[in-house]
Amino acid sequence: MKRGLCIAAISVLTLGGCISWSVDESWFFRPVARAEKVTTVAGLKLDAEERLTKPGPFSADFGRIFPNFPDRIPARISHDFVDLGGERIAITRVAGSNGSDDEPLIVHCGGESGDRRSHGTVYAGKILPWGEALLMDYPGYGDSSGQPTIGAMLTFQSRIATYLDGLASKRPLILWGHSLGGPVCAAIASQSTEVDAIVLEATAPNFSEVMDARKPWFTPPTLQLELTNGLKSYDVGEALSDFSGPIMVLGAGRDETFPVTLARSLAERLRKQGLAVTYLEYSAADHMNAALNGLFVRDAAGFFANVNNSRH
């Protein structure tokens, strides 16, 4: 949801006529509150996950977008908890019925309020045509323990990178970051030895540009937004400065959450760094569906085919 300045997450200082607003992580990491978290593997699930396990309207709808999607229904779904830095992180893996053990493992990093239980069916749906989906809840999100503090997120990013490297030593590994998940995926990639490619969907170069883009029109010119130090470390360009694999950036022309100018800025910056960037923009897409259209299937097929062939 589009927001202006979130007052509850900001402290105010007045310096020589200028107003300085200090923004902490609660402005960006906003998990949906749950009355009760699942504590057993047997209790883990995705909302409406039956749409991925049997033919029906869902597979028909996705079949119109992804020609090979019906061939991967019913999907195989497995859930688990993994211990990462003292937190129990909820994980869901979704593989197509005709998938292979050496197809890409595609890890989804969700947005500021996205979690695997609430949004996992759609996340898996857009990934499944290209490989096996791995969905995860950040600390404090979904069914994971903990809270999404900067310290917890930094530990999580390091530990999840090691965990994913162990899973993907013999298959392509792709990180797919949507919205807030773009900077998070980039941070994970910077600590991984196995990531082959990255998809950055409807996201931004860093949190400073997100704040600038979300300023209401009536914001006074004397207002200065200052990120806390931990948030300043989330910079996609810096995190990927040594990355050698292909990167896809997706922009959505009707995105009211992360304006498309942010995606354009990100792609331009990464190209100036000499990185291998494919930029795709869809004028009719909004924040949630840039990857859910037939044009994306046509445009992205070569990208995923090249990644799939990279380890074969």
Q: Which domains does the chain have, with CATH numbers?
A: 44-206+233-309 (3.40.50.1820)
Binning pLDDT at 50, 70 and 90, where does residue 2 land? very low
> How many Å is the maximal CA-CA distance in the chain?
65
Phi and psi torsions of 147, nearest 5°: -135, 150
Annotate 9-28 with DSSP letters as a single string.
GEEEEEETTEEEEEE-GGGT
Copy the structure tokens of residue 203: 């996201």
pLDDT digits (tens, 9 = 90+) for 217-236: 556 666 677 888 889 889 99
> What pLDDT was estimated at residue 213?
76
Q: Which of 19-23, 50-54, 170-174, 228-232 has the lowest mean pLDDT?
A: 19-23
Helix (H, G, I), strand (E, B) or coil at 94: strand
pLDDT digits (tens, 9 = 90+) for 158-209: 999 999 999 998 899 999 999 999 999 999 999 999 999 999 999 999 988 8
Average pLDDT over residues 286-302: 95
Annotate 141-164 with DSSP letters as a single string.
STT--S---HHHHHHHHHHHHHHH
CA pair distance 298, 84, nearest whole angstrom:
38
∠ CA 290-291-294, rounded to 5°: 105
Phi and psi torsions of 185, nearest 5°: -65, -40
Annotate 68-97 with DSSP letters as a single string.
TSGGG-SPEEEEEEEEETTEEEEEEEEE-T
End-to-end alpha carbon distance in the chain: 41
Closest CA to 261 of 216, 209, 218: 209
Binning pLDDT at 50, 70 and 90, where does residue 24 land? confident
Q: Which residues are 93's β-sheet partners?
A: 78, 134
pTM of the model: 0.91
Percent of the chain with pLDDT over 90: 71
